[in-house]
Structure 1
């Protein structure tokens, strides 16, 4: 399969052997299951019966897997019996390859930019009672960290929980503690006690402050650009209850609609305008969530157990990383959506055939580019107003 050109097969086999996933399995080994699940992700097959039917009708897929048929019940049993943490380990190996490849190119920066956020996937309450969310529906939450490097964003660590889990409760699992890291997150991660701890440990962060925050101004700084409205050194929290021990830097700027935005950071050396630009990069993670929800199978699930649901999310993330890995290998810059469409067309062809197809010059000029750029700006404004819940119900054709 084309996207498996750079797949860490040896590491995968070690993970499978260590977990004993193929013990007593005769027909559908874990590697074949992974292939089938990735075909389902890339072709958007949203049920196990669809996957089974695809194998029955697809002679090329049969030849690739040395498998002529499989039942939906067998697929269900295999997905149920493989611990989702196995797929998590595979994801970690695949994304490590992407990051290693990305580090070979691009300018060296004085910090590693990490963006942290979460996205909720709603579920039917009757079928997913274990996924605690609200009285009328269930849900899970994907807590994700992406790394932005040389203008591109790459998925990094992730944590899966029930949707009711507050974002700030998993901060410590996602925040990067190395001295060269700069962590960016939104108002859902406001926690003065944790921020104090991060200041004490030298963990750098940039966040947006809630409008009702109690602020004690210690110092006013001069503003040198129109982009920044004000800059201050402050102490956050109520002096009698939650006040931080360490002072932080407060920067007032404007969003894309001209509304005032208050940013706080314990990074004291970078210019205020650059801190504002860094916070705006947080929208890259919203676009990541939007992309996987539109183009991969993460809203319809093959099983109803927690293990099956979490496993499917990890498989989607593996598929996303493989597409990005393929994108990195291409001789010219193309969008991830173009890569996905090419993979759908050349799913079983040799890697060089896919490269040749994606390297062909366009046959006509795209006169709609300006409208696409306008749509992107509009998307950023909507996210700024509404947050990310709307991504679960947005028209999937919008902004493509």
Structure 2
């Protein structure tokens, strides 16, 4: 859609029109920079194969985010591995795979290179659950993550697909409005997203117990502490029972032994005992 001369380019409408005429990869970088400037808390950007290229990995890393994405099995996308530029499928063919029923087939550290810039990346080759003879390639710019963490984190991207499915199939994102006006289409999309947020919030309140927020985590910690203390008192109770059954001690002697035992416990146990005293 051509930009309208009646719209001020400095307005939100003008900026949106400009983004609509820009390549998707450039729009992605612009939105990430806006998110970074707004201090939106995020550590990782999740990509599908559409955006995942060495150039994108380097640019997102420069913005301040790490990337976990899926690499296209193409001979045109190369990483530096063992001193040579190789495609991900070539690396997979040359490297030794893991045996057994591992959660991944292969994991290697390589470098993503664009021009004179290079960053270390970890390539994780995962068996395709839909086709056991096939594999998928995940890449992470955070090489300190374990392979399991990379796989689990990338799995969260599926929530995005669920979001699109919900908006298109149930909230009528593509069918409710037939307008050709750019502003009307933008307003319609905003209304659909507002519906989704309201429904998600209501679901969290009625179904998801984590909606209580910080209280949820405090309750979990308290529950763990109670289990911990129950186990400790069971141990002490069993100790006293064994002593009284096998040996005859005066009450004072028994109390002295228990006090000596408690004094030699680690500090963390002392803190729990003092809290319950």
Task: State the TM-score, normalized to the length of structure 2.
Answer: 0.53
Q: Which whole-Å CA distance do the structure 2 matches of 1:311 and 1:160 have between them?
A: 16
- Who is 2:109 aligned against? 233
- 1:276 CA displacement: 1.3
Q: Within 5 A, what are the aligned runs for 1:200-349?
A: 200-212=62-74, 213-218=77-82, 226-237=102-113, 242=115, 244-257=117-130, 258=132, 259-300=134-175, 301-330=177-206, 332-333=207-208
- 1:222 CA displacement: 9.3
- 1:242 CA displacement: 4.7
Q: As a proportion of its length, which structure holds more helix?
A: 2
Q: Which whole-Å CA distance do the structure 2 matches of 1:274 and 1:211 have between them?
A: 22
- 1:223 CA displacement: 5.9
Q: Which whole-Å CA distance do the structure 2 matches of 1:306 and 1:190 have between them?
A: 29
5+ residue gaps, structure 2:
1-10, 84-94, 210-277
Q: Which whole-Å CA distance do the structure 1 matches of 2:48 and 2:103 have between them?
A: 20
CA RMSD of aligned residues (A): 3.4
- Answering whether residue 60 of structure 2 is matched by residue 187 of structure 1, we say no
- 1:333 CA displacement: 4.8
Moved over 4 A (4+): 176-180, 219-225, 241-244
| Gap change, CA 1:160 and 1:85, over 3 Å in 2 | same
| Gap change, CA 1:221 and 1:231, over 3 Å in 2 | farther
Deviations 1:80-118 (A, max 9, x none): xxxx969xxxxxxxxxxxxxxxxxxxxxxxxxxxxxxxx
Q: Which whole-Å CA distance do the structure 2 matches of 1:85 and 1:255 have between them?
A: 43
Aligned residue for 1:234, secondary structure, equals: strand
- Who is 1:392 aligned against? none
Contact 2:67–2:141 (CA under 8 A) maintained in structure 1: yes
Question: Which structure's relative contact order is higher, taking Cα pairs within 8 Å and 6+ residues apart?
Answer: 1
Aligned residue for 1:303, secondary structure, equals: coil
Contact 1:168–1:190 (CA under 8 A) maintained in structure 2: no
Aligned length: 174
Contact 2:53–2:71 (CA under 8 A) maintained in structure 1: no
Q: Within 5 A, what are the aligned runs for 1:366-381?
A: none
5+ residue gaps, structure 1:
1-83, 87-129, 131-158, 335-400
Task: State the TM-score, normalized to the length of structure 1.
Answer: 0.38
Q: Which whole-Å CA distance do the structure 2 matches of 1:317 and 1:200 have between them?
A: 30
